[in-house]
C-alpha cells in the first residue's frame, strides 16, 4: 500500500467500537460494517486487542467473502497475561506469530494485506519485533507491514529492517503531538492512518469547525475529517462509530473541500 494506491478513497473505518454482544447489538454492528462496505470504504481497521479477536470474527461474519478493493487490516502485539489476565504490550516473536495465525483464521484470509504492530514493546528489541513481521511477510502470511504509535526514530529503525507501508498514530486537528511523524510519513510516501481522527466526537462541538461547517454546509465532524484530508496526501483517517448515521456522515466528508483559509482557521 502506498499513499498513491489509496488515493481514490481516503476515509476508512475503525471497527473498535462495534459491539459483539448481546445478539441484537451484534446484528446492528454487522449492519454498520456492511453499510461501510456499501458506501465503498477502502479500509477497515481492527486488532487482536479488540475483544481478543472477537472484533475480527465479527467483521468476517458480516463481510466475508470480502469485496475486491476492501482492505481489512489488523494489529498484533498486545496480549493477555492469562485467560482472565490484563492486556499488556507483548512483542515476543512467538506471540506475534500466534496472533497472526489467529487473525488469518478469524478473518478467513490466506494473507493479511496490511499487518500493523500495535505498539513497539519496549522490553523486546525492535529488530526482533519488526524482523518477525518481515519473516511473516516472506512466508506469505502478510503482505504489507505497518506500525502504530511510533516515533520518527522508531520508524527509521523499522524501515532499515523492512519496508513500512503505514503508520497509525493518534492525531486530529486538536491533537497534533505526532506532527513530526506525519511529516516523516509524507516525505517517505507512507500512508498515515490517524486514530482518534474526530477526537472521540469532540470535533462535532468545536466552535472553529462549527463555523466552517456553517459556511460549507457540512457538519463540524465532516469539517474535521476534511481538515485531515487537506493536511496531507498520505492521510487516511479511520473514524470509529457503532452508528450507521455517523458512518454515513463520516464517509461523506470525503466530498467536503476546505479553502486554504478555512484549513488554517481550523488548525490553530
Q: Does 254 bind ligand NAP (CB under 6 A)?
A: no
Q: Which of 132/168 has CB closer to ligand NAP?
A: 168
Q: Does 148 bind ligand NAP (CB under 6 A)?
A: yes
Residue 171 bears catalytic tag: no
Which residues are CB-contacts of 83 (< 8 A; sequence separation ≥ 6)?
A: none
Q: Does 241 bind ligand NAP (CB under 6 A)?
A: yes
Q: Does 51 bind ligand NAP (CB under 6 A)?
A: no
What does the chain come to in residues?
268
Q: Which of 139/173 has CB closer to ligand NAP?
A: 173
Q: Which of 123/138 has CB closer to ligand NAP?
A: 123
Residue listed under C-alpha cell 506532527: 179
Q: Does 132 bind ligand NAP (CB under 6 A)?
A: no
- The strand ranges marked E within the chain are 13-14, 43-45, 71-76, 78-80, 87-89, 112-117, 142-148, 166-168, 191-192
Please check whether residue 6 is in contact with residue 42, taking contact to mean a CB–CB distance below 8 angstroms: yes
Please state, in angstroms and rounded to a whole number, the distance separating the CA atoms of residues 138 and 34: 32
Closest approach of Cβ 252 to ligand NAP, in Å? Answer: 10
Q: Does 238 bind ligand NAP (CB under 6 A)?
A: yes
Q: Which residue is nearest to ligand NAP (CB)?
A: 14
User: What are the DSSP calls for 100-158, one per residue?
Assistant: HHHHHHHHT-SSEEEEEESS--TTS-HHHHHHHHHHHHHTTSEEEEEEES--HHHHHHH
Q: Does 249 bind ligand NAP (CB under 6 A)?
A: yes
Q: Does 91 bind ligand NAP (CB under 6 A)?
A: no
Determine which one of 50, 192, 195, 263 is catalytic. 50
State how far Cα 240 lies from the chain centre: 9
| Residues engaged in binding ligand NAP (CB under 6 A) | 14-17, 45, 148-149, 168, 195-201, 204, 221, 238-243, 246, 249-250
Residues acting as catalytic residues: 50
Amino acid at each position: 500500500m502506498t499513499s498513491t494506491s489509496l488515493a481514490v478513497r481516503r476515509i476508512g473505518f475503525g471497527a473498535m467500537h462495534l459491539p459483539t454482544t448481546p445478539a441484537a447489538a451484534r446484528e446492528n454492528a454487522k449492519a454498520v460494517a456492511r453499510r461501510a462496505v456499501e458506501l465503498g470504504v477502502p479500509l477497515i481497521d481492527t486488532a487482536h486487542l479488540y475483544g481478543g479477536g472477537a472484533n475480527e470474527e465479527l467483521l468476517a461474519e458480516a463481510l466475508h467473502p470480502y469485496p475486491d478493493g476492501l482492505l481489512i487490516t489488523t494489529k498484533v502485539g498486545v496480549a493477555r497475561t492469562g485467560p482472565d489476565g490484563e492486556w499488556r504490550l507483548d512483542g515476543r516473536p512467538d506471540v506475534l506469530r500466534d496472533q497472526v495465525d489467529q487473525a488469518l483464521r478469524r478473518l478467513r484470509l490466506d494473507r493479511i494485506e496490511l499487518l500493523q504492530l500495535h505498539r513497539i514493546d519496549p522490553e523486546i528489541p525492535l529488530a526482533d519485533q519488526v524482523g518477525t513481521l518481515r519473516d511473516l511477510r516472506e512466508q506469505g502470511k502478510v503482505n504489507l507491514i505497518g506500525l502504530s504509535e511510533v516515533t520518527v526514530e522508531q520508524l527509521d529503525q523499522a524501515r532499515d529492517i523492512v519496508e513500512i507501508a503505514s503508520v497509525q498514530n493518534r492525531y486530529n486537528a486538536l491533537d497534533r503531538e505526532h506532527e513530526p511523524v506525519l511529516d516523516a510519513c509524507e516525505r517517505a510516501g507512507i500512508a498515515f492512518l490517524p486514530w482518534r481522527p474526530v477526537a472521540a466526537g469532540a470535533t462535532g462541538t468545536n466552535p472553529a469547525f462549527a463555523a466552517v461547517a456553517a459556511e460549507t454546509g457540512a457538519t463540524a465532524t465532516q469539517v474535521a475529517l476534511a481538515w485531515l484530508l487537506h493536511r496531507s496526501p498520505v492521510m487516511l483517517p479511520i473514524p470509529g462509530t457503532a452508528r450507521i448515521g455517523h458512518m454515513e456522515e463520516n464517509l461523506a466528508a470525503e466530498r467536503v473541500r476546505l479553502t486554504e483559509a478555512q484549513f488554517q482557521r481550523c488548525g490553530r
